[in-house]
Amino acid sequence: MPLTTIATVSMPVVYDPDTNLTVMLGRIRDAAELGADLVVFPEQALQGYLTDTLSLDFENVRYQQQNAETAPNGPRVSALIEAAVEQSLHVVFGLTERDDRFADVLYNTVVLAGPDGYIGRYRKVHQPGDEKHVYHPGTGFPVFETGIGRIGMLICYDKCFPETTRALALQGAEILVMPTAWAYDDAAGAAEDDVRVDQYTLFGRVRALENQAWMVESNVVTPQGNLNYHGHSRIIDPNGVIRADTGPTEGIACVTVDVEDTILRARGIDYIGYHFLKDYVPVPATVGPYGAGTE
């Protein structure tokens, strides 16, 4: 079966979309030189994430409104899509998207492009803190057929809910892609044993394992606004094993794998032959041990 090279980026993001675009275009070229078939960028890599979702900064909201772009036709969005075509690889990147019908409606969005151009987008469903006062939520979890496998996307807080990745896996997603802006709990301490780093690791590994699918996470690194992002962009295999990690610094993590074969092995051999999706039984919360039910 064909081998696929997956790359994920840890990068600092600033409140200047042209600067971010320049960095991203450079990283796409770097990924192409590594032979990557897929490269993933962080949540809102194009414009930068909100300063602080616990105390809404109206200047930052105004910045997001002024710099939002439509997808796939915004000028910087188009430049990234064109780069995917030029380098003949798949690119996933985050942005603040402006609705193409209602200029005041914004979404926290990721776009998927490939060697033939724009493929699709996903709009963040689960919104923490003040995100819900800035962005409209998405309405579903689409899966996209690509030349390297079926790709499903989610964004940051989405991965705290097991139903998100399960919805993608049940639609046949083989590669779960998660751009994020995940920060240290203690912005000043920035320690590797920080609780938020542990939670980030736990969520990512469990989501990969419980769906026996590949998980690709891309995170911001270094401080921005009131937050301090810890990097650790990662590629996690269908057994929940971290196969590549940028660590807490800027860079690219890369791994070459047989996506289909590793998934088949995970579901048929590696975990005692247990296939979690095949054996999955939906459990209503109103019956049996999960609710009042009847004896």
In the chain, the largest separation of any two C-alpha atoms, in whole Å, equals 63
| Tens-place pLDDT, residues 246-269 | 999 999 999 999 999 999 999 988
| Tens-place pLDDT, residues 11-65 | 999 999 999 999 999 999 999 999 999 999 999 999 999 876 566 778 888 999 9
In the chain, what is the straight-line distance between the N-terminal and C-terminal CA atoms, in Å?
Answer: 50
- Can you name the CATH fold of 4-290? Nitrilase/N-carbamoyl-D-aminoacid amidohydrolase (3.60.110)
Q: Region 77-85: what's the mean pLDDT?
A: 99
Distance of CA 137 to the CA centre of its chain: 16
Query: Which residue in 11, 12, 9 sits closest to 34, CA to CA?
Result: 9
Q: Region 104-109: what's the mean pLDDT?
A: 96
Q: Is the pLDDT of residue 124 over 90?
A: yes
Q: Are 131 and 108 in contact (CB under 8 A)?
A: yes
Question: Which residues touch 110 (CB under 8 Å, ≥6 apart)?
Answer: 43, 92, 93, 94, 95, 121, 122, 153, 155, 177, 179
Please report the pLDDT score of residue 129 as a whole number.
Answer: 85
